[in-house]
């Protein structure tokens, strides 16, 4: 007797043949959640089990498919209420609630239909097969394969960009977001940076099999700032100083995200030199705040008063320092 590949869908879902639709649905959800490919990455057995569960639910959750499955048993996939005849025209087939489960396989039913022997090696079977080839083909055509829906790995996670100012990202902010027909409040924690992802559980795409939603990831996009930039985890800014502050040194106020602080400029500092303000950079929920790196720019005035000009000229004539003394011209 040939194996028809029949599957006990009730057994697969762990329900009785008299189970209500709600029981079938609940069992399917539990099993689908357990064997879903997203929860079992790389597990071929779990993937095959998930497909089998999905196939069983596809049949038993559909009233018409379940009715055919209950009536025709092993042959439900080969049956339809309309089929093609040997000449290509359509014909109605009424099985009058005939119970096909009494046969071991589909060939036994066909052999009995045409009066054939069940022994595939008998001469009567061969001759009968030739005599009834046209009629037999017509019957076979009326038992079309309905097919089944196989489960597949579904990516239910979603991603959405959210634009933040430096101030909102630094201190944290609560925003309202519209997701489909739903408006939700989202709390952005302090210290979000460019590319930071914030996970919203259960706000992603809907899995058509488990009816469960994935997660939504909000990807932060920082609006560029005119003063601050990032260098890794640290903040970078440029601060101008006057020529006399560069020569003599000074104490100046420098803006930081947390407020202004006083920074000491050492005498003789060069333009482009960087000073570090420890712990005055960007907040980190798990660690200490990063540093702020201050790049010093010596700002040369374009307009000066008559007194300033005289003083600069006096410095120039009495200057002991030659800024180009160490330059080498030879190749």
Report the alpha-carbon distance of residue 159 to residue 13 in Å, rounded: 34
Residues 128 and 48 in one domain: yes
Residues 21 and 90 in one domain: yes
Three-state DSSP state, 230: strand
Domain count, the chain: 3
Chain segment 269-312, per-residue pLDDT in tens: 999 999 999 999 999 888 899 999 999 999 999 999 999 999 99
pLDDT confidence of residue 255: 95
* Overall residue count recorded for the chain in this entry: 331
pLDDT confidence of residue 87: 38
Residues 313 and 240 in one domain: yes
Phi-psi region at 253: left, alpha or beta (left = phi > 0; alpha = psi -120 to 50): beta
Report the alpha-carbon distance of residue 229 to residue 227 in Å, rounded: 7
pLDDT confidence of residue 260: 95
Of the candidate ranges 123-137, 238-252, 265-279, the one whose mean pLDDT is the lowest: 123-137
Q: What is the pTM of this model?
A: 0.51
Q: Is the pLDDT of residue 102 over 60?
A: no
Tell how strand 182-188 and strand 292-298 pair up. Answer: unpaired
The residue ranking higher by pLDDT, 65 or 95, is 65
Residues 200 and 273 in one domain: no
Question: Is residue 331, in this structure, part of any structural domain at all?
Answer: no
Residues 252 and 279 in one domain: yes
Chain segment 141-177, per-residue pLDDT in tens: 333 333 334 444 567 888 989 999 999 999 999 988 8
CATH number at residue 176: 2.60.260.20
75 Cβ contact list (under 8 Å, min separation 6): 4, 100, 106, 109, 143
CATH number at residue 59: 1.10.287.110
Question: Is residue 48, in this structure, part of any structural domain at all?
Answer: yes
Residues 120 and 21 in one domain: yes
Domain limits at 190?
Answer: 158-222
Residues 120 and 183 in one domain: no
Residues 26 and 122 in one domain: yes
Per-residue pLDDT band at 240 (split at 50, 70, 90): very high
Report the alpha-carbon distance of residue 281 to residue 294 in Å, rounded: 11
Identify the domain boundary among 116, 141, 166: 141
Residues 239 and 217 in one domain: no
Residues 41 and 110 in one domain: yes
Widest CA span in the chain: 128
Identify the domain boundary among 170, 202, 222: 222
Question: Is residue 35, in this structure, part of any structural domain at all?
Answer: yes
Residues 42 and 94 in one domain: yes
């Amino acid at each position: 007797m040939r194996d028809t590949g029949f599957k006990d869908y009730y057994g697969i879902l762990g329900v009785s043949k008299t189970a209500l639709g709600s029981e079938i649905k609940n069992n399917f959800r539990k099993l689908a959640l357990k064997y879903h490919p997203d929860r079992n990455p790389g597990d071929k057995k779990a993937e095959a089990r998930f497909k089998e569960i999905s196939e069983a639910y596809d049949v038993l959750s559909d009233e018409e498919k379940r009715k055919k499955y209950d009536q025709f048993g092993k042959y439900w996939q080969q049956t339809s209420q309309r089929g093609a005849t040997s000449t290509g025209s359509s014909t109605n087939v009424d099985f009058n609630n005939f119970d096909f489960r009494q046969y071991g396989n589909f060939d036994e039913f066909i052999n009995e239909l045409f009066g054939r022997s069940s022994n595939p090696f008998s001469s009567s079977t061969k001759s009968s097969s030739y005599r009834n080839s046209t009629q037999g083909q017509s019957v076979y055509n009326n038992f079309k394969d309905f097919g089944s829906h196989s489960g597949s790995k579904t990516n239910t996670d979603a991603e959405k960009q959210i634009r933040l100012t430096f101030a909102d990202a630094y201190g944290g902010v609560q925003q309202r977001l519209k997701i489909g027909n739903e408006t939700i409040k989202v709390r952005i924690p302090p210290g979000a940076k460019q590319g930071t992802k914030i996970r919203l559980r259960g706000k992603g795409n809907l899995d058509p099999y488990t009816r469960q939603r994935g997660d939504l990831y909000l990807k932060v996009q920082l609006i560029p700032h005119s003063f601050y930039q990032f260098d890794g985890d640290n903040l970078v800014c440029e601060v101008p100083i006057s020529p006399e502050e560069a020569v003599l040194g000074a104490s100046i106020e420098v803006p930081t995200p947390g407020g202004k602080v006083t920074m000491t400029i050492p005498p003789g500092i060069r333009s482009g030199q960087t000073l570090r303000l420890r712990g005055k950079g960007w907040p980190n929920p798990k660690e200490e705040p990063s540093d702020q790196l201050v790049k010093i720019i010596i700002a040369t005035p374009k307009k000066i008063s008559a007194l300033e000009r005289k003083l600069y000229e006096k410095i120039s004539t009495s200057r002991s320092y030659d800024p180009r003394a160490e330059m080498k011209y030879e190749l």
